[in-house]
Amino acid sequence: MKRYAALLGMALAAALVLGIVARLPSRAARPQAIATPRAEVALTLVIADDRISPAASAVPKDHRVRLEMSNQGTRATTIALAGYEERLPSHTLAPGETWRATFLADLPGEDFAWLVDGRPAGRLSVTGSHLIEGHR
Length of the chain measured in residues: 136
Q: Which residues pair with 97 in a beta bridge?
A: none
pLDDT at 58 over 90: yes
| Selected residue with higher pLDDT from 26 and 109 | 109
What's the pLDDT tens digit per position in 14-47?
787 777 877 877 665 555 556 566 799 999 999 9
Q: Which is higher by pLDDT, 5 or 51?
A: 51
Report the Cα 52 to chain-centroid distance in Å. 25
Measured at the alpha carbon of residue 89, what is the angle toward residues 84 and 92, in degrees to the nearest 5? 130
Q: Are 61 and 38 in contact (CB under 8 A)?
A: no
pTM, to two decimals: 0.67
Comparing CA positions, the residue from 102, 108, 106 lying closest to residue 126 is 108
What pLDDT is recorded for position 50? 85
| 123 pLDDT above the threshold of 90 | yes
* Cα–Cα distance list, 68 to 20, 36, 43, 45 (Å): 57, 24, 6, 6
CATH class of 40-127: mainly beta
Report pLDDT for 1.
Answer: 77
Residue-range domain boundaries for the chain: 40-127
Query: What pLDDT is stored for residue 116 in this prediction?
Result: 94
For range 96-109, the mean pLDDT = 94
CA distance 102 to 72: 21
